[in-house]
Amino acid sequence: MGREGEHHTDSEPVLEEHVIDVYINDRLTMKLICIPQFLTELVLGRLLTEGIIETVKDVEQIYICEHGLRARVMLRGNKSENETLQATVADSHPQAGRVALDGGASQESFTETTPSCCTGNHILNDYFLTQKEVKPVTPIPWKASQIFDLADRFHAGMSLHRQTFATHSCFLAKDGALLFQCEDIGRHNALDKAIGYALRHEIPLTECMVYSSGRIPTDMAMKAIRAEIPILSSKASPTAEAIELAKEYGLTLVCAARRDRMKLFAGPEPEG
């Protein structure tokens, strides 16, 4: 429909929301609203950025059900007595990891956390959350050209965004090389997927940088800090609180990063 009242009927692709329930040691702990791609990476990344695990070695096994509706995570050292399944990590595609999951999880100690992207993601209990101190990250040298390259990659577009204009994206790079790219409904999910990919493939996050399509409030900055990622960059802007958090924890924060300019809010100046 146009401003002058003209209108016509057409059809176009519309993004569909996918919901996955995450059970940790048989407790329903998270409900994630996402797109059904890289589900294993999403779960692994979320476990790390919520402080539930510190490394991928803390995870004994992950199963994704046939339709990607449930994930079952067993943490190392907390295996239930009646658990007899062999440890494995399911493939990212929801059709892989064909293991039916039980639904008898407890929901005591109920808490609810809604991230600033407002995609409806919830944490259903705080049983697995820890109070361990968050450590500062170690800055690494970087070049402006590395950020510009990621901005160029973002400008080239992602498949779902080209069709629906309804996704955020995230790019993971190391030493100037693009290692992984993904999309999701929310920017938090996309960042978690990039982090989960690095965990799954034993890529040292301490040597990586990420580029996000979304704004950077404190929860996005804290995800990078918990993952020990030294450089967080974004096409969008940060909040004042995120800038202070980045300065406090040594995170290099580069925002408003476009193909021809960027703004350094925290961290060392680029080389060259």
pLDDT on residue 102: 35
Sign of the dihedral defined by the CA atoms of residues 100, 42, 128, 227, in that order = positive
Which of the 8 DSSP states describes residue 238?
Answer: B
DSSP 121-132: -EE---TT---P
The structural domains of the chain, ordered by start, are: 18-123 (3.10.20.10), 144-266 (3.40.140.10)
Phi, psi of 244 (to 5 degrees): -65, -40
Q: For residue range 28-53, what is the model confidence (pLDDT) as tens digits?
A: 999 999 999 999 999 999 999 999 99
Pair 23, 65: CB distance under 8 Å: no
- Which among 32, 78, 23 is positioned nearest to 188, based on CA atoms? 32
SS3 65: coil
**Model pTM score:** 0.83
DSSP 144-170: HHHHHHHHHHHHH--HHHHHHS--EEE
pLDDT on residue 161: 65
pLDDT on residue 234: 98
Phi, psi of 36 (to 5 degrees): -80, 55
SS3 181: strand
Q: For residue range 55-72, what is the model confidence (pLDDT) as tens digits?
A: 999 999 999 999 999 999
- Which of the two residues, 174 and 2, has the higher pLDDT score? 174
Please give the span between the terminal C-alpha atoms of the chain, in angstroms, as a whole number.
50
pLDDT band at residue 23 under the 50/70/90 scheme = very high
